[in-house]
Amino acid sequence: MQEPELREPRLHVGLIMDGNGRWATTRGLPRVVGHEAGVGTVRRVARAAPGQGIGTLTLYAFSSDNWRRPAAEVAGLMGLLRLYLAREVEVLRRDGVRLTVIGRRDRLPDGLAEAIAAAEAATRAGTRLHLRIALDYSARDAILAAARAAAPDATREDFARLVTGDGAPEVDLVIRTSGEQRLSDFLLWESAYAELHFTPCAWPDFGEAELAAAMTAFRSRQRRFGGLPAAA
Ligand code: IPE
Ligand code: IPE
Ligand code: MG
């Protein structure tokens, strides 16, 4: 695939994939059908991301607070993730995508942590896109763990490395689908200066066009990082 010439450093986009349940419910379908449809969106968005100037894409798949959902829905989500790994890893490897998973691994169903480690190992060499999946993830827990591990004289950079775990850069843009306008414990440290984009589009209906629209909106923003805009 021919990639457009990049005129800017590759961006880190965080995606809060929301609205699967409502998408299904409004169609009279069980919520898990919405999650199944959402897996297709993950595929489409991961494919489209490098062409949009995205170098790192962090997808919020399951928050630590999502354990509060009914056991059957949780089992459905975990099953879908297992299936995604089984089916997609070879494609990701071929496409030059490095996959890593952030969040806790000690509470996952049997065998899933091993499947994740295998997927990470198989895709380690990918440089075209770093695809991160946030699973049993809580930004507050990540910050708390970093605080516990950090030396008293740790610099901001040292601390950032501890928080992100895998050296991912700061987040440039957070996109949330399905109309909610909140962060729900996602990448709180890394998003200190992230631009925010909220779209009413439900995650199963999100795709290349919606991603492109979000990126166009992002490029129209003036980022200042506390300073003043460059003189015209
Ligand atoms: C996003 O969709 C997927 C997860 C949070 C796991 P939801 O399941 O939150 O869908 P809504 O918000 O109930 O519609
Ligand atoms: C946030 O969505 C978590 C994920 C997208 C995985 P939720 O749907 O769980 O968030 P709240 O409960 O509406 O804030
Ligand atoms: Mg939701």
Pairing of strands 97-102, 11-16: unpaired
d(CA 81, CA 48) in angstroms, rounded, equals: 20
Q: Are 175 and 187 in contact (CB under 8 A)?
A: no
Tell me the pLDDT of the chain (232 aa) as tens digits: 455 554 567 999 999 999 999 999 999 999 999 999 999 999 999 999 999 999 999 999 999 999 999 999 999 999 999 999 999 999 999 999 999 999 999 999 999 999 999 999 999 999 999 999 999 999 999 999 999 999 999 999 999 999 998 889 999 999 999 999 999 999 999 999 999 999 999 999 999 999 999 999 999 999 999 999 877 5
Question: Which domains, ranges and CATH numbers included, belong to the chain?
Answer: 14-219 (3.40.1180.10)
Verify whether residue 158 is a known catalytic residue. no
d(CA 32, CA 102) in angstroms, rounded, equals: 23
Q: Which of 60, 77, 176, 178 most suits a substitution to test ligand 1, by most atoms within 8 Å of the C-beta?
A: 178
Coil, helix or strand at residue 88? helix
Which residue spans within 78-208 are E strands per DSSP?
A: 97-102, 129-137, 173-176, 195-198
Atom 2, ligand 2: residue with shortest CA distance:
18
Which residue from 201, 202, 197, 200 is spatially nearest to 217, judged by alpha carbons?
197
Q: What is the pTM of this model?
A: 0.96
